[in-house]
Amino acid sequence: MASVFTMIINGDLPGTFVWEDDRCVAFMSINPISHGHALVVPRDEIDQWIDVPPDLQQHLFEVAHRIGVAQKQAFGSNRIGMTIAGFEVPHMHIHLIPANAMSDMDFALASDSVDTADIKKAAESIKSSLEN
């Protein structure tokens, strides 16, 4: 059975994308820890990050860097935290979380629901910063 991320990548479930290329995508979290929380996800369904081939790891981190710079510009947070947890979905993904303090990185802060308009607004801010 395909992971929820594969279903989003394939268009079977909705996703608010900020990046797409032949190896990975980045889309907004539907349970954000903070405003602008995005996920970088390889198109290949790989469960654990330690199983990702080195060349794909490099690509994912390059994309994460570009998205992170755009998030910092768009939201003005002190930092863009990066986490690879791997427990909630069996499909490797990198969390990019705008944060002002370490306490902002707590997964217990994840929203149960967010207005779709807020997610789309955050995505547009990131995409606009990527274009600059």
Tens-place pLDDT, residues 121-131: 999 999 999 98
Q: What is the pLDDT of residue 113?
A: 86
Tens-place pLDDT, residues 105-121: 999 999 998 899 999 99
In this structure, which amino acid lies at residue 122? Answer: A
CATH code of residue 19: 3.30.428.10
Give me the residues paired with residue 19 across strands.
26
Tens-place pLDDT, residues 14-30: 999 999 999 999 999 99
**Which residues span the domain enclosing 28?**
4-131
Spell out the residues 6+ positions from residue 31 whose beta carbon is closer than 8 angstroms to its own: 110, 111, 112, 114
Q: What is the pLDDT of residue 121?
A: 97
Measured in residues, the chain has a length of 132
Average pLDDT, the chain: 96
**Number of folded domains in the chain?**
1
> In the structure, how many helices (H) and strands (E) does the chain have?
3, 5
Task: Answer for the pair 67, 75: CB distance below 8 angstroms, yes or no.
Answer: no
pTM (two decimals): 0.95
